[in-house]
Structure 1
Amino acid sequence: MNIGVVIPAFNEEDYLEKCLAALNDAQKSCMAQNIQIQILVVLDSCSDKSIEIVQARKIDYLECNFRCVGKARDLGVRHFIAQGVGWVACTDADSEVTHDWFIQQCLHQPTDAICGIVEINNWHTLSEQVKRDYLLHYQDKMHHRHIHGANLCFSTEAYLLAGGFDHLECHEDVGLVEKMQSLGLKISWSNKLRVVTSARLVGKAPQGFSYFLLNLC
C-alpha cells in the first residue's frame, strides 16, 4: 500500500518537529510490511522556522500563500494524485500520530475513507470542568461520528468523486466527509486510528478544534 501524508502548516515551528518525529516512528513501525510512506508538508504563508525544520528532516514540502487550510490540504492531496498515489492520510502540524497509525489504515481496508479520533495531549492547561465537559461530549469508540482534519484518510478515487476539499478556512474536513456520505461512499468511523493533538486555545483555523476547546472554558 502506498500512503501519502499531507500536513498543512502555517507558522508551526513550536509543534512541527514533534509531528514529524511521530510520523517517522509510525513509518519505522511498518517497515517490515509492504507499506510505502510519502510525507508532504504544505507550508502556507510561513514566516517562522517551519521550513528549516522540514528541510532538516529532509521531508518533501510545497510552499503557498493561501492562508487557507482547505486550499493547502487540497494542494497537497492533488500533488499526490498527480504522482499516482492511491491513498492519502491527513494530519495537522500540532498533532502526533500513534506508532500504529499506518498499520491501522491498512487493517481497515477496503474502505473509501476513515475518520479517526483525537486525544488531548495535555489537560494541565485546561480546567477540570473543561475536561469533564469535553469527555462527556467526545465519543472515543468505534462508530463515533467525529471528523478531524488531524486524523482523516481516504482513497484518492473517493476524493475526486467528492470534489475534494472545499477552499475554506475551517470545516473543510467536515465538508469533504459530508460530500462522501451524500455519494454513498463507505466511511469507517474508527477509534483504532488515533492522533494526539495539542490543547492550545488559539489555533490557526477560525472555529476549528481550538475554538471548540475555548468555548468549553
Structure 2
Amino acid sequence: MLVRPELLADALRGREGARMGPMQRMRGTMITYRVDIVIPARDEQVLLPRALASVERSIAVAADHLRAPQALSRRSPTCVPGVALDPGALDARVTVVADRCSDGTVAVARRHAHRVLEVRADSVGDARHRGCAAPWGPGSELGAGGGPDGAGSAGSLLLATDADSTVPEHWVIEHLRHREDGAEAVAGTVAVADWDERDAGLAERYRIEYARRDDHVHGANLGISREAYGALGGFRALPVGEDQDLIDRCRASGRRVDTCSSAPVVTSARRAARAPDGFSDYLNALELT
C-alpha cells in the first residue's frame, strides 16, 4: 500500500535547519536534508504506482537512517563506506511530470506524489528540466501532498528516476552519502529484473556488454546538487542523451562526479520505447546482435 504523500511529508519534514559545506551544517541546529525527486511520465498508469511505491519506501528508509545513522549505517551497501551522515530530518518531495498523458497517469500521480506538473514537453530532457526547475509554493501545480516553499537551497539534492523503474530502499541515503562526501553529481547504474518480453539470450548479452564499461549514465538513476544544476543550466531539451549531456557538462566544469554501482535502479526491458533512442531501443538493437 502506498503511503499518502501528505502524511509522509508531515512525518519526514521535521524542523528547518541549515548545513554548511555540501549539506549546510550549523552547530546547534537540527540538520535538514532536502531532496527533490523528479519522475517524468508519459502514459505510465500501469508502472507508475510501483515506481512511486519504491521511491516512498526509499524516503522512509532514509528518514529512519537519519534519525539513528550509527545504528543503521551497516545495513545497506555503499560506494563510500567511510562517510557518516549526521542525525537530522529529511525533507523529501516527489514531483511527477506528466507529459502529454492520455491515460490515468495524472490521477495516479495526484494520489501518490507531492506534486504533479501536466506539460507538453518538447523532449524527455525538457520534461525532466521542468520538474527540476519548477518552484515550490503558491502558483505551482501541487498534487495531494503539497510542498513547502523554498526548494532552491544550496544544500539541497535533486534525484532523477523514471516511471518504469523501481529504486532500491537505500537509494536516497546512498545519494546523500555521496553528496556528504563532496560529490556534486552521482551517476548510478541500472539493472533489469524481468526479461520475459525478450529473447532468451538477451539477459546474458546485456550483462556482458554492461560490464565492459564503468561510466554508465542513466536518467533513471542520477543525482546532482541543486547548486550545480542551476549553475549548469539544468537538463537541456534534448530528445535523447540529456542525462549524459548534463553529467558531461558537470565534469567539464571541474565539479566532482561520482559513479555508483551500489544502488542500482531496476528498469523495464519493454520493447515499446517512450523516448526515441533510449534504453528500450538500446535493448532492441542489442537483441539483433
TM bin, normalised by shorter chain, reads over 0.9
Partner Cα separation in structure 2 for residue 35 and residue 46 of structure 1: 31
Q: Aligned match of 2:133 in 78, 81, 86?
A: 78
Partner residue in 2 for 1:188: 258
Contact 2:52/2:113 (<8 A) preserved = no
Aligned to 1:117: 189
3-state SS of 1:89 partner: strand
1:211 aligned onto 2:281: yes
Greater Cα radius of gyration, structure 1 or 2: 2
CA deviation map 1:143-164 (0-9, x unaligned): 9200000000000111122221
Per-residue deviation, residues 4-37 of structure 1 (Å, max 9, x unmatched):
0000011111210100011111111122323221
Measure the CA separation in 2 of the matches of 1:182 and 1:6: 24
Change (3 A) 1:80 1:101: farther
1:80, distance to aligned residue in structure 2 (A): 5.2
- Report whether the alignment pairs 1:38 with 2:38: no
Task: List aligned pairs for 1:80-119, cutoff 5 A.
Answer: 83-85=151-153, 86-108=156-178, 109=180, 110-119=182-191
Shift in Å, 1:56: 2.1
Distance in 2 of aligned mates of 1:61 and 1:117? 26
Q: Distance in 2 between matches of 1:90 and 1:19?
A: 12
Q: Distance in 1 between matches of 2:121 and 2:127?
A: 7
Partner of 2:51: 19
Letter in 1 for 2:133: R
| Letter in structure 1 aligned against 2:263 | L
How many Å apart are 1:195 and its aligned residue? 0.6
Q: Distance in 2 between matches of 1:57 and 1:63?
A: 15
Contact 1:144 1:190 survives alignment (8 Å): no
Q: Which fold has the larger relative contact order, with Cα–Cα distance below 8 Å and residues 6 or more apart in sequence? A: 1
Counterpart residue number, 2:115: 60
Preserved contact between residue 122 and residue 237 of structure 2 (Cα < 8 Å): no
Paired residues of 2:51 and 2:166 also in contact (CA < 8 A): yes
Instruction: Give the counterpart letter for 1:132 in structure 2.
Output: E
The answer to which of 148-157 and 193-202 deviates more is: 193-202
* Poorly superposed stretches of 4+, deviation over 4 Å: none
In structure 1, the residue corresponding to 2:37 is in which secondary structure? strand
Q: Call closer, same or farther: CA 1:146–1:58 in 2, change over 3 Å.
A: closer
Amino acid at match of 1:153: G
Residue 244 of structure 2 is aligned to residue 174 of structure 1? yes
Paired with 1:55 and 1:134, the residues of 2 have a C-alpha distance of 35
Whether contact under 8 Å (2:197, 2:271) holds in the other structure is no
Greater shift, 51-60 or 103-112, is seen at 51-60
The structure in which a higher percent of residues are strand is 1
**TM norm structure 2:** 0.71
**Cα RMSD, aligned residues only:** 1.7
Q: Give 1:29's aligned amino acid.
A: V
Gap change, CA 1:58 and 1:166, over 3 Å in 2: closer
Instruction: Report the counterpart of residue 69 of structure 1 in structure 2.
Output: 124
